[in-house]
Amino acid sequence: MSTQPFILHVNGNPNVPTILEVKVRPTPGTTQTELFKVPVGTKNCRVLEVQPDPQGTTLNGKVFQWFRIVLPDNREGWVRDDLVQITGDGRSYGYPLLPMSAYAFSITRTSNVNPVGTVTPGTPPSASTTTTAPATTPTTTPAATTAPAATTTPAAAPAATTAPTTAPAATTTPAAAPTTPSMGPVVPSPTAPTGTVLAVCIANRGANLRAAPVGGAIIAKVDYMTQLTVIGSSAQGGGTNYMWVNVRNAAGQTGFVRNSFLKIVGNATQWGLGAGDEYPAPMRAYWWVRGFGINFPANDANEVYHDGWDLGAVTGEPMLAGPRGGVVTQTNVCQKCTPDKPNTLAWGIPVGSDSVFNDPAWGYGYGNFVVIRYDNNLLPASTQQRLAQRSLSGAHVFVIYAHLANFTARNGQQLAGYEQFGTCGNTGNSEATHVHLEVRAGSNPNAQWAQLRPGLLEPGNLFSR
């Protein structure tokens, strides 16, 4: 059961970061004049109703959906699903239960339902009427498999290889995105029945459910944000650190999905997966891009060793400190990252060039970055145990948050739990907006980032995806 409201954030289009304002209309459809505009970054709008586009307008074969929302200032109107993120219990509206916020257009609505009491489309909203709150008791189960996501590309590998879809547009740096405090951080869904471990698909193009690990036949498609039940796992081996998670979908089909495409919710240590006490990812809304190790597919000629995780997000997505706070030990403003050419791609320099990695003016490739130290006593119990197993008992953990659009963190600053210290960007050795999350351990609390290299850790030792 769940009492999470269905909430919408006006976050703009992740593929078009230059959009900084979104039109709110009196009824669904772009033929309507606008009521007013809201800035990208407006958060915590309550969803009243969802309707498909009245003209049946599509993108990549998928019909747009329109949301009737109430803004925090009580204004009301309709916005289209390619410009917003949604989170919470959407089951009364044909969406799944979304434990973390997700790009609405990437989710396939399973039916055109609305909570009892909502007004039919076409009725102009009156300023701040009282409306029926979404029914708290869900009427439908989160239909995982139904409607095959109309558009999308095959999934699985692609998501990892290509880096977040878009062009390098990141220039605009809407940066200091309106900082409505709001919203608790993303935390593991409280909805997993006791003893059940869930896996949520965080590959924004979906993933494949396979009959066997690695090259097994594809049984079904798993859409972004679909929830699966974990029933086991299998290590890929062969020098990789991949795990294949044995899961069951809502249709009762069982198979395997690679762990990098999944956020595990609950204690899955019995299967060699997360303990469930790890820090949440540092952003509320993100998608999976790339993991630790040699993570480009075997058929990619440019195999590169990758020292961290890459999580894609919308430019300006707030970057949050760990749940118990930490100390800023290092910051860098990238000298070569200009507003119109923030990254190597914009300069025509191939991604992954040694000249960049050796250049302090590029922040050694990290662009704008912040390093935060999490003292040993603030770490999850599972992280402390893993450090001890590696003869790093009592060590502190340092995290670099790289490629930021901007940051407010200052050297020596003590950050509170979940305190925002910057925003996600596309600076340095980067080709699309994402954070590179790299984790190193060391016992000297004053160590500089470069000195900590021997303590490099797979980020899953501290974070859950």
Stretch that binds Zn ion, among 4-12, 256-264, 335-343, 432-440 (CB under 5 A): 432-440
Encode 352-385: b = buried (16+ Cβ within 10 Å), e = exposed. Answer: eeeebeebeebbbbbbbbbbbbbebebbbebbbe
User: Which residues, in sequence order, are CB contacts of 426 under 8 Å at separation 6+?
Assistant: 168, 170, 315, 342, 343, 403, 405, 432, 433, 434
Report if residue 431 touches Zn ion, rule: CB under 5 A. no
Between 65 and 295, CB nearer to Zn ion: 295
At its nearest, how many Å lie between Zn ion and the CB of residue 307?
7
Q: Are 79 and 34 in contact (CB under 8 A)?
A: no
Stretch that binds Zn ion, among 16-24, 170-178, 265-273, 434-442 (CB under 5 A): 434-442
Between 210 and 436, CB nearer to Zn ion: 436
Residue 357 DSSP SS3? helix
Between 5 and 352, CB nearer to Zn ion: 352
Between 291 and 316, CB nearer to Zn ion: 291
Give me 204's structure tokens: 């924004």
Nearest Cα to Cα of residue 173 among 7, 404, 373, 379: 404
Site for Zn ion in 283-342 (CB under 5 A): 310
One-letter-per-residue 3-state SS of 129-146: CCCCCCCCCCCCCCCCCC
Site for Zn ion in 148-187 (CB under 5 A): none
Give CA–CA dist 105/82, Å, rounded.
5
Between 82 and 310, CB nearer to Zn ion: 310
Q: Please tell me the count of residues contacting Zn ion according to CB under 5 A.
A: 2
| DSSP state letter for 362 | G
Give me 27's structure tokens: 């009824």
At its nearest, how many Å lie between Zn ion and the CB of residue 41?
25
Site for Zn ion in 191-210 (CB under 5 A): none
Nearest Cα to Cα of residue 114 among 4, 250, 223, 6: 6
DSSP codes, 24-49? EBSSSSTTSPPSEEEETTEEEEEEEE
At its nearest, how many Å lie between Zn ion and the CB of residue 430?
8
| C-alpha distances in Å from residue 384, one per residue of 140, 375, 387, 388, 411 | 41, 10, 5, 6, 25
Stretch that binds Zn ion, among 174-182, 218-226, 325-333, 429-437 (CB under 5 A): 429-437
At its nearest, how many Å lie between Zn ion and the CB of residue 214?
23
Report if residue 440 touches Zn ion, rule: CB under 5 A. no
Between 14 and 88, CB nearer to Zn ion: 14
Between 67 and 401, CB nearer to Zn ion: 401
Site for Zn ion in 50-79 (CB under 5 A): none
Between 76 and 310, CB nearer to Zn ion: 310
At its nearest, how many Å lie between Zn ion and the CB of residue 15?
20
At its nearest, how many Å lie between Zn ion and the CB of residue 290?
6
In this chain, which of 436, 447, 463, 464 binds Zn ion, going by CB under 5 A? Answer: 436
Stretch that binds Zn ion, among 96-104, 188-196, 276-284, 433-441 (CB under 5 A): 433-441
How far from chain centre, in Å, is Cα 129? 33
At its nearest, how many Å lie between Zn ion and the CB of residue 429?
8
At its nearest, how many Å lie between Zn ion and the CB of residue 356?
13
Residues of the shown chain interacting with Zn ion in the complex, contacts defined by CB under 5 A: 310, 436
